[in-house]
Amino acid sequence: MLKTLLGASLCFGVVHAHLAAWHKGMYCLNGNKAGQDLNSYDIVTPLYQLSFNDWWFHHVNGCDNYPPADGDYINLPAGGSFTIEIGSNRAKTSLSYGGRDMSDWPDGNTYPEDYNVPSCITSPNMHAQNRSMAAGTAFAISYQSDIKAVTPENLVVFSVRYNTPWKRVVVYDVPAAMPPCPAGGCICAWGWVPNNCGQPNMYHQPFRCRVSGSTSNTPLAAPKPPVWCENNSGACTKGAKQMVYWNQNERNNIWVSGYDAAGDFKSPTYNAKLGFKDGAQNDIFAGPASSGSSSSNSGSNSGSNSGSSSSNGGSSSNSGSSNSGSSNSGSSGSSSPSSNSNTSNDTPTNTSNNDTTNNLAPSSSSSSTTSGQKNSAPSCQNKRRRRRSLLDIDVSPIKRSNLIEGVKAHRRRASAAPAW
Ligand SMILES: *[C@@H]1O[C@H](CO)[C@@H](O)[C@H](O)[C@H]1NC(C)=O
Ligand SMILES: *[C@@H]1O[C@H](CO)[C@@H](O)[C@H](O)[C@H]1NC(C)=O
Ligand SMILES: *[C@@H]1O[C@H](CO)[C@@H](O)[C@H](O)[C@H]1NC(C)=O
Ligand SMILES: *[C@@H]1O[C@H](CO)[C@@H](O)[C@H](O)[C@H]1NC(C)=O
Ligand SMILES: *[C@@H]1O[C@H](CO)[C@@H](O)[C@H](O)[C@H]1NC(C)=O
């Protein structure tokens, strides 16, 4: 029986090399069906050209219906950091088999420190040529305890790590001024938008989380969508930003076209190109840090997470530096923890279904036959510089037909360019 499990774990890691963030506080830790558990990988499939209902929190395969066990959540120490693992399968992390099948890398294998594949690394499928090209990933938080109450408009990016995904272990920083969560905890999300090297998709997965050691009660500001601002920092969205939602059939919040400074097709990644700093996002608050009488954070910090400094005593020695530049002070003032839970006015605004052809390759690329195609194709990133076999592309089984349609449409359009 042990042998069966071992075989299964090795096999899954090879077949499905997509990546996700792993932590006991995640949804879908055990997968979406009975019997997977230690070998689950349902959460790793990328999200592409889906309806809002399907892409939001990976509902496409029901992952949002599988919350973590009671008491499991990511502990977010205000002003500190937390650790997650990036892996292709739970078996390749410390969460299975006591870490037997894990390595320093997301798929349990070993690679050179200066791993570099000019035609794109596909094992693990990190959508990059080398570390410096790795897109960046982000964590966001919503001060809602019910995952159903979380919307793009109350989910705020609070931490970014440049040049990830790369190795298995990733550490994210928490802003010092993070207020405490409601008694039932917060919902967090991990996001990744690859920087070319394959299907231009995205990753979006839910977690339970809680802030510990808060010294401020100032709530987060309402986040705005990020915008492309590479080499033009004045154009960046200032302050609290939403996660990046693109190339879906509904509720995209960013559209890009043309080339980035490196000469690749623009991809809206979690880094300076969208105005995200590396590390804690300290400009996301609705006003200056305020150490009111915070009380709701004490006590219930029984999470599975080590290193929690749960005491939220009156120490108001908040390192004030954290809140500079918060140009986003909408309605400042009241900063009681209870004011964090403002969903009622969260009716989603119409980030309307912008035709995804806006995301296609720049019009300069001899593609004038595109007109009339709706949602036609993956925008064929890299076609100038990189070729990929179909196998290199993130193919979610669910959307395989969609992709093949996309490939055909792409070939129709890009007759002059090499197909993939
Ligand atoms: C990383 O990949 C990019 C794109 O291929 C390349 O320009 C750069 O020189 C590479 N860096 C290293 C350290 O290999
Ligand atoms: C919460 O509500 C306040 C007051 O309406 C608003 O200023 C703030 O941006 C809201 N925050 C979020 C995260 O929705
Ligand atoms: C634009 O930004 C990139 C980094 O995103 C940098 O490498 C490049 O030198 C910049 N170009 C100019 C003209 O500033
Ligand atoms: C759709 O995309 C275009 C260009 O990419 C942008 O100008 C426009 O504002 C978007 N439409 C909506 C409704 O956001
Ligand atoms: C949202 O946008 C769609 C497409 O542009 C439009 O048909 C619809 O009326 C809009 N809905 C609202 C509530 O504005």
DSSP H or E stretch at residue 3: helix 2-15
What pLDDT digit, counting tens, does each position of 6-19 carry?
433 333 333 447 99
What pLDDT digit, counting tens, does each position of 229-287 carry?
999 999 999 999 999 999 999 999 999 999 999 999 999 999 999 999 999 999 999 99
C-alpha distances (whole Å) from 302 to each of 206, 210, 297, 350 are: 20, 10, 12, 39
Mean pLDDT of 274-301: 77
Give the distance (Å) from ligand 3 centre to CA of residue 262.
8
Confidence of residue 336 (pLDDT cuts 50, 70, 90): very low
Average pLDDT over the chain, rounded to an integer: 76
Q: What single letter denotes the amino acid at residue 372?
A: G
Please check whether residue 193 is in contact with residue 176, taking contact to mean a CB–CB distance below 8 angstroms: no
Higher confidence at residue 392 or residue 292? 292
Which pLDDT score is estimated for 292?
Answer: 61
pLDDT above 70: percentage of residues in the chain: 65
Which pLDDT score is estimated for 17?
Answer: 74
Q: Which residues, judged by CB distance below 6 Å to any ligand atom, belong to the binding site of ligand 4? A: 255, 352, 354, 358
Task: Tell me: pLDDT of 403 over 80.
Answer: no
Mean pLDDT of 114-127: 96
Mean pLDDT of 399-413: 38
Torsion sign, CA atoms 157, 247, 225, 66: negative
Give the distance (Å) from ligand 5 centre to CA of residue 396.
29
CATH number for the segment(s) 2-280: 2.70.50
Give the distance (Å) from ligand 1 centre to CA of residue 133.
7
Which pLDDT score is estimated for 302?
Answer: 36
Torsion of CA 334, 336, 342, 344, to 10 degrees: -80
What pLDDT digit, counting tens, does each position of 355-371 carry?
333 332 333 333 333 33
The 3-class SS string of 43-112 reads HHCCECCCCHHHHHHHHHHCHHHCCCCCCCCEEEECCCEEEEEEECCHHHCCCCHHHCCCCCCCCCCCCC
Higher confidence at residue 386 or residue 69? 69
